[in-house]
Structure 1
Amino acid sequence: MYYIGIDLGTSSAKLLLMEAGGEIKKIVSKEYPLFFPHPGWSEQKPEDWWKAVMEGLKELTEDFDKSLIGGISFGGQMHGLVTLDQEDHVIRPAILWNDGRTQKQTDYLNQVIGKDKLSQYTANIAFAGFTAPKLLWMKEEEPENFARIEKIMLPKDYIAYKLSGVHCTDYSDASGMLLLDVQHKCWSREMIEICHIREEMLPELFESYMSVGNIKREIAEELGFPETVRIVAGAGDNAAAAVGTGTVGDGKCNISLGTSGTIFISSRKFGVDAFNGLHSFDHADGYYHLMGCMLSAASCNKWWMDEIIGTGDYAGEQKQINALGENRVFFLPYLMGERSPHNNPNARGTFIGMTMDTTRADMTQAVLEGVAFAIRDSFEIAKSLGIHMERTKICGGGAKSPLWKKIIANVLGIKVDVIESEEGPGYGGAMLAAVACGEYASVEEAADKLVKVVDTIEPEAELVEKYNKRYKQFAKIYPTLKGVFDEII
C-alpha cells in the first residue's frame, strides 16, 4: 500500500508518497504566494493551498498504481485562522502563525484575563501568533466578517475538509489555538466565551492517527483514487515532524530548522513550566509534548543569502567560515518578532559587534549562530525543569547544512542525530496515515520500525566551552535592547 503525507508549509505544499515499509517513492513541491498587507502582517489564501494540493496529488501519483493508495494525512503550519461562512466559503485570507497584528488582543488576554487563568484553561498563555487573539482582532477590526463565521479551522484542516467534507482537527494542532483544554483534550468553555464564539463553530477533535472519513467521491474521481482512501487527521507541523523523526514516547528531543525553529520534547506526562516559557501541547502519539518555538530560523539564513548578499550559493558561503566559537559578531534572529521565550512581536533582527575588520563570512556565521543561540534559550528552560537531554534529532531545511548541525551540537552541548529521511512533517504525515490504516499498531511502533539514524554529530569539549561563553554574551543583548524595540515599532 501507499500512504501520502502532505506538509502544508508557509511557502509551499510538499507532498510525499511512502510505501508501507517506509521507503519514500516520490516527493512533489508546489509553491504559493505569501502576502504582507501591512508591516508585521502575514496572510495566505486557503484557495491557493487547495489548488497546490490538488495539482501536487496528481503529479505525485501519476506514475503509480493509484488503487494501492490507502490514506492521506498531514503536517501543517499551525495557528493560522481560517474562517468559513454558512456556505463553507472562505471569508477572508488566512491570518498566519507569523502574523504580529494581535498585540493588543494578546495583551488583553495575558493582562486582563490573566496568564494564570489562561494557563489553567489551556495550559498556555497568549502569543500573538495563536488563533484566539486573531479571533478577537477580527471581532474588533472586521466585525462584519466576524459575524459571518460558521466554522473556524486551521490550515491543514481546511485541506482535510476539502478532501473529506468533514470539519475536523487534531489535538496537537488544536493545542496551539488557545481554545483547547490541553490536559483534558476538549474545547475550553471559558475560552469559547472569552472569544465570543460558539462551540459548534469549532471542528470535531481527533487523535492525529485517526481517520476522519473517506475521500469524497468527486475528488476521488478527479484524482483517479479509490473511494476507500482514508483522510487522516494529521498533526501540527512540529508534532508531525516529531513523528517523522521518531520523537515519540517519553523524553525524546527534536530540533527543527524550518521557516520557524523549534525544540520539541515528547512526554507521556502532562506538564507546564512555571513561567509558560515553553508551550505545553498534546502530541500526535496520543500523549503530550513541550515545545519552544522561534518565528524565524532557516528563514533568517534565506533572508541573509537571498535578499542581502544576493546569492543562492549557500554551501559556498558557509565554506568561508572556519573559526567557530570565536565570532565577535552577534545576530538576533527576530525578523518576524519572537515567540519563545520572549513573547514579543516587537523584537527585531539585529546585528551587533561589527568592526572595520568584520567580514562577510563573520556576518553569515553570526546568522547561523544566532538561530542556534535562540534555540538554546528554550533549551535552558527545559533544563531548568529537570529535563535531561543528551541528544536530539534534527530536521528541516537548515538541517541539510553540515556546518549548522555542528554549530547546534556545540551550542547546546549535546549529540545531534541525523536520520535517513529529513522530510519531517510530510514523512510524519504519511506515517500517521499508515497507522490509521492498520499498517502499524501505534505511532511508536511505526517510529521504531521506520525511523533510522544514519549519522551523529558529537559536541567537542573545547568548542562547547567557547560557545558557552558566547551564549552568555548573546543572552544579554535582547534584555538590553527590548525597550529600544518597543520604541522603534
Structure 2
Amino acid sequence: MLYIGVDLGTSAVKLLLMDEKGKIKNIVSKEYPLSFPQNGWSEQNPKDWYEQTVLGIKELIKHFDKSQVAGISFGGQMHGLVVLDENDEVIRPAILWNDSRTTKETDYLNNVIGKDKLSQYTANIAFAGFTAPKILWMKENESENFKKISKIMLPKDYIAYKLSNVFCTDVSDASGMLLYDVKNRCWSKEMINICGINENQLANVFESYEVVGTLTKEVAKELNLDAKVKVIAGAGDNAAAAIGTATVGEGKCNISLGTSGTVFIASEKFGVDENNALHSFAHSDGNYHLMGCMLSAASCNKWWIEEILKTNDYNNELNNIEKLGNNKVFFLPYLMGERSPYNDPSARGCFIGMSMDTTREEMSQAVLEGVAFALRDSFEIAKSLGIKIESTKICGGGAKSPIWVKMIANILNIKVERIESEEGPALGGAILAAVGCKEFASVEEAANKIVKVIETIDPDPVLVEKYEIAYRKFAKIYPTVKKLYTELM
C-alpha cells in the first residue's frame, strides 16, 4: 500500500509518498507566496495551500498505482489562525506563526489574566505567535470579520477539511493554540470564554494517528483516487517531525533546523516547566512533549548568505569555517523576535565582538554558532528539570550542513544522530497515515522500524570545553541588551 504525507510549510508544501515498508517512493514540493502587509505581520491565503496541495498530490502519484493509495496525513505549520464563515469561505488571510502583531494581546493574557492561570488552563503561557492572542487581536481590530467566524482552524486542518469535509484537528496542533487543556486533552472552557468564542467554532480533536474520515467524492474524482482513501488527523510540524525522526519514548530528543528551530523532548508523562519557558504540548504518539522554539534558525543563515553576502553559494561560505571554538564574534539570532526561552517579540538580531581584523568567515561562523547557542538555552532548561538527554536526532534544511551539526554536538555536548531521511514532517505525516490505516500497531513501532540512523557525530572534549566558555559569554549578551530593544523599535 501507499501513504501520502503532506508537510504544509511556511514557504511551500512538501508531499511525500511512502510504501508499507517505509520506503520513500516520491517527493514533490510546491511553493506559494507569503505576504508581510505591515511591519511584523505575516500572512498567507489558505486557498493557495489547498490549490498547491492538490497539484502536488496529482504530481506525486502520477506514475504510481493509484489504487494502492490507502491514507493521507499531515504535518503543518502551527499556531496560524484560519477563519471561515458560515458558507465555509475564508474570511481573511491566515495570520501565521511568525506574525508578531499581538504584543498587546499577549501582554493582556500574561499580565492581566495571569501566567499562573494560563498555565493552569492550558499548561502554557501566551506567546505572540499563538492562536488565542490572534483571535483577541481580530476581535479588537476587525470586529466585523470576527462576527462572521463560524470555524476556527489551524493551517493543516484547513487542508484536511477541504479533503474530507470533516472539521477536525489533532492534540499536538491544538496544544499550540492556547485554547487547549493539554493535561486533560480537551478544550479549555476558561480560555474559550476569555477569547469571546464558543466551542462550536472549534474543531473536534483527535489523536494524531486517528482516522477522521475519507476523501469526499468530489476530491477523490479530482485526484483520481478511491473515495475510501482515509484521511488521518496528522500533527503540528514539530510533532510530525518527531515521528519522522523516531523521537518517541521517554527522554528522546530531536533538534529541528528549519525556518524556525526547535528542541523537542518526548515524555510519557505530563509535565510543565515552572517558568513556562518551554512549551508543554501533547505529542502525536499519544503521550506528551516539552519543546523550546526559536523563531529564526536556518532562516538566519539564509538571511546572512543571500541578503547580506548576496550569494547563493552556501557550500563555499560554510566550507571555509575552520576555527571552531575560537570565535570572538557573537551573533544573537533574534531576527523576528524570540520565543523560547525569552518570549520577547521586540528582540532583534545583532553582532558583537567585531574588530578591524574580523573576517567574513568569522561572521558566517558566528551566525551558525548563535543559532546553536540559542538552542542550548532551551536545552539548559530541560536539563534543569532533571531530564537526562544523551543524544538527539536532527532534521531540517540546516541538518544538511556537516559543520553546523558538528557545532551543535559540541555546543550541547551530546551525540547527534543523522538519519537516512531528513524529510521530517512529511515522513512523519506518511507514518501517521500508515498507523491510521493499521499498517503498524503503534506510532512508536512504525517510527522505530522505518527511521534509520546513518551517522552519529560525537562531541570532541576539547571543543566542548571551548564552547562551554563561549556559551557562558553568549548567555550574558541578551540580558545586557534587552532594555535597548524597545527603544530601537
> TM-score band (shorter)?
over 0.9
1:245 matched to which residue of 2? 245
1:324 matched to which residue of 2? 324
2:167 matched to which residue of 1? 167
1:5 matched to which residue of 2? 5
What's the CA shift for 1:486? 1.2
Distance (whole Å) between structure 2 residues aligned to residue 158 and residue 223 of structure 1: 17
Of stretches 348-357 and 428-437 in structure 1, the one that deviates more from structure 2 is 348-357
**Structure-to-structure mapping, 1:11-160, within 5 angstroms:** 11-160=11-160
Distance (whole Å) between structure 1 residues aligned to residue 42 and residue 359 of structure 2: 33
1:302 matched to which residue of 2? 302
What's the CA shift for 1:249? 1.5
**Structure-to-structure mapping, 1:414-425, within 5 angstroms:** 414-425=414-425
1:277 matched to which residue of 2? 277
What's the CA shift for 1:199? 0.3
Of stretches 76-85 and 349-358 in structure 1, the one that deviates more from structure 2 is 349-358
Flag as ranges the 4+ runs of structure 1 deviating above 4 A.
Answer: none
1:17-36 deviations in Å (ceiling 9; x for gaps): 00110110110000011111
1:341 matched to which residue of 2? 341
Distance (whole Å) between structure 2 residues aligned to residue 31 and residue 351 of structure 1: 32
2:433 matched to which residue of 1? 433
Give TM-score, length-normalised by structure 1: 1.00
Distance (whole Å) between structure 2 residues aligned to residue 122 and residue 403 of structure 1: 39
Equivalent residue of 1:487, what SS? helix
1:407-450 deviations in Å (ceiling 9; x for gaps): 00000000000111110000000000000000000000101111
Distance (whole Å) between structure 1 residues aligned to residue 214 and residue 456 of structure 2: 40
1:259 matched to which residue of 2? 259
2:205 matched to which residue of 1? 205
What's the CA shift for 1:334? 0.5
Equivalent residue of 2:430, what SS? helix
Amino acid aligned to 1:50: Y
What's the CA shift for 1:191? 0.1
Amino acid aligned to 1:182: V
Distance (whole Å) between structure 2 residues aligned to residue 351 and residue 45 of structure 1: 35
1:120-163 deviations in Å (ceiling 9; x for gaps): 00000000000000000000010011010000000000000000
Of stretches 105-114 and 353-362 in structure 1, the one that deviates more from structure 2 is 353-362
**Structure-to-structure mapping, 1:387-402, within 5 angstroms:** 387-402=387-402
Equivalent residue of 1:138, what SS? helix
Amino acid aligned to 2:303: W
Distance (whole Å) between structure 2 residues aligned to residue 405 and residue 393 of structure 1: 10
Distance (whole Å) between structure 2 residues aligned to residue 44 and residue 482 of structure 1: 31
What's the CA shift for 1:187? 0.2
1:380 matched to which residue of 2? 380
Amino acid aligned to 2:158: Y
Equivalent residue of 1:301, what SS? helix
Q: What is the total number of aligned residue pairs between the two structures?
A: 489
1:218-277 deviations in Å (ceiling 9; x for gaps): 111011111110011000000000000000121100000000000000000000011001
1:196 matched to which residue of 2? 196
Amino acid aligned to 1:102: T
1:158-196 deviations in Å (ceiling 9; x for gaps): 000000001100000000000000000000000000000
Equivalent residue of 1:281, what SS? strand
**Structure-to-structure mapping, 1:225-240, within 5 angstroms:** 225-240=225-240
What's the CA shift for 1:313? 1.0
Distance (whole Å) between structure 1 residues aligned to residue 319 and residue 358 of structure 2: 17
Distance (whole Å) between structure 2 residues aligned to residue 448 and residue 475 of structure 1: 36
What's the CA shift for 1:312? 1.0
Query: Where in structure 2 are there 5+ consecutive unaligned residues?
Result: none
Distance (whole Å) between structure 2 residues aligned to residue 361 and residue 234 of structure 1: 41
Amino acid aligned to 1:62: K
What's the CA shift for 1:461? 0.3
Distance (whole Å) between structure 1 residues aligned to residue 176 and residue 340 of structure 2: 13
Distance (whole Å) between structure 1 residues aligned to residue 132 and residue 482 of structure 2: 25
